[in-house]
A and B are shown apart, each in its own frame.
Chain A
Amino acid sequence: MKLVVAAVILTLASISVGQEDPEARLLVSKNVLNNYLVEGKDLTVEYKIFNVGGGAALDVHLKDSSFPTADFEVVHGNLEVMWERISPGANMTHAAILRPTKFGYFNFTSAEVVYYGKEDKKEQKFGYSSAPGEGGIVNKKDFDRRFSPHVLDWLVFAVMTLPSLGIPCLLWYSSSRRFTSHVKKQN
């Protein structure tokens, strides 16, 4: 009898402990997906939010104010995003496309996220995302010198080489014509 009572009490206790209001815990990663950062070319920033806690995260606001408007312009997407609910164990992805207007070294810092960890929305949590670190934005001129198709350069090259190829060709053609026309007369 005592054993049964003890067992019942223990199970109730364990159940109550397990049903303690689980809390959400968000991990936010911020990455720049480009291999090259070039002035005037698109730059993709990807944000991933993972909920590694036991509970759902509510009213999740992600805001990235680390790109000054003087140095970057937003091409596509939003630097401020809101999710109403992120379930435990789920992950969300958000991407934004920017374009740097100046070249040089830029320190990519964290974005900020605010969310409620529990259902009662009493305590608002504030977090920083991971920072990609410092990156160099290459000058457009230097990038083109290495990577552009150089169409104009090739055309100019072709025009410049025409004399050195054309003159021997003309000489041969003019002399060969003389010989072929002679044979035809004989016939």
Chain B
Amino acid sequence: MLGLCRNSLILLLLLLPTAVIFVGQGGRSSILVYAEEAGDVLEGEDDDATVDSDEPVADDGAESDLTATEKEEDDTRLKPSPHVDTIIHFVRPNKPSELPAGRLVRLLVGFTNNGESDFVVESMDASFRYPQDYSFYLQNFTTVGYSQVVEPKRQATFEYGFTPSDAFSGRPFGLSIMLNYKDSNGAEFANAIYNETITVVEPEEGLDAETLEKRMQSFFLYVFLAAAVVLLLIGAQQLMASFKKKPARSKTPVEMGTQNSDIDYDWIPKEALINHSPRRTPKQSPRQRRSKRSTGFGEE
């Protein structure tokens, strides 16, 4: 009897906490691990400090609060329509997990209307969220409006583009792309087409064919312009030189010595006259000079 009592007591002790935990779950899917709901805490960095207590009673209270807020949030958030199928394709860059900062990211979204009535696709917007807490917005990108009617059994494509800021390079973000549309009754729907964590990376410098081509073009253009300027300068210099040549020759006469032969030597006494008379031709050689001297010996 006592053994049975003891066994039942042990069983009760084991079952009671587990039963309490299971009952207290409510609408939660996970049992042991649960994160802080975003609605409770606004500052993101302090989340790591909170520790889940082991007290089942305290947990019940906290959990019920959390489930209540979660339900409120679900009601305000727009849900996708079951008649709509969407598909996303990144045109540039191909892999959305790494986005270059400062470059335009282009993507296409396909929308299929599998329902029976028209849908009007209103707008699409993208946003960067905090990677650990997707309800904390870091940056909102421009909302592009389409207002396109998509008939039943038809598809449509929508293009969207955004540029991650240079200031965000090297950090991970939660990229969330939402497509907003409404049906023929006016009920609003929203589809989160892309909801993943991506990293913004530094754009590759100089390896891209486009940037390389641009750089080459500008480099050669500057070289060409410099060469053209140098050519002009040389041309101007040549022109100045050619203009200066004609007057230069007439303006600076070369000193040739006394050329005139009609110099009056009368006033000089004959003794002072040297043999270097102007009549003497420079062609006279020393031999001729000697012969002249011998013949003209008597004159002296």
Name A residues whose Cβ lies closer than 8 Å to a Cβ of B.
25-29, 31, 48, 50, 52, 110, 125-131
Contact = CB atoms under 8 A, between A and B. Distances in A.
Contacts of B150: 128
Contacts of A126: 153-155
B89 A52 contact: yes
Interface in B116-159: 146, 148, 150, 153-159
Nearest to A127: B155
B256 to A, nearest CB: 17
Interface residues of B, number: 16
B154 A127 contact: yes
Contacts of B87: 25, 27, 52
B110 interface: yes
Given A50-B91, A110-B148, A27 B154 contact: no
Given A50-B89, A52-B89, A130 B158 contact: yes
Given A50-B108, A52-B110, A128-B148, A29 B155 contact: no
A127 B153 contact: no
A149 to B, nearest CB: 19
30 contacts: A25-B110, A26-B110, A27-B87, A27-B89, A27-B110, A27-B157, A29-B91, A29-B108, A29-B157, A29-B159, A31-B159, A48-B91, A50-B91, A50-B108, A52-B87, A52-B89, A52-B110, A110-B156, A126-B153, A126-B154, A127-B154, A127-B157, A128-B148, A128-B154, A128-B155, A128-B157, A129-B157, A130-B157, A131-B146, A131-B148
Contacts of B89: 27, 50, 52
Given A25-B87, A52-B89, A130 B108 contact: yes
Interface centre among B146, B155, B157, by most A CB within 10 Å? B157
A30 B77 CA distance: 32
Contacts of B155: 26, 125-128
A52 B88 CA distance: 9
Contacts of A27: 87, 89, 108-110, 157
Interface centre among B146, B155, B158 (most CB of A within 10 A): B155
Interface string B86-97: 010101000000
Nearest to B146: A131
Nearest to A132: B159
Nearest to B145: A133
B91 A127 contact: no
Nearest to A124: B153
B110 to A, nearest CB: 5
A123 B150 CA distance: 18
Nearest 9 A/B pairs, CB to CB:
A127-B155, A130-B159, A128-B156, A27-B108, A130-B157, A27-B157, A27-B110, A52-B89, A126-B154
Contacts of A28: 157
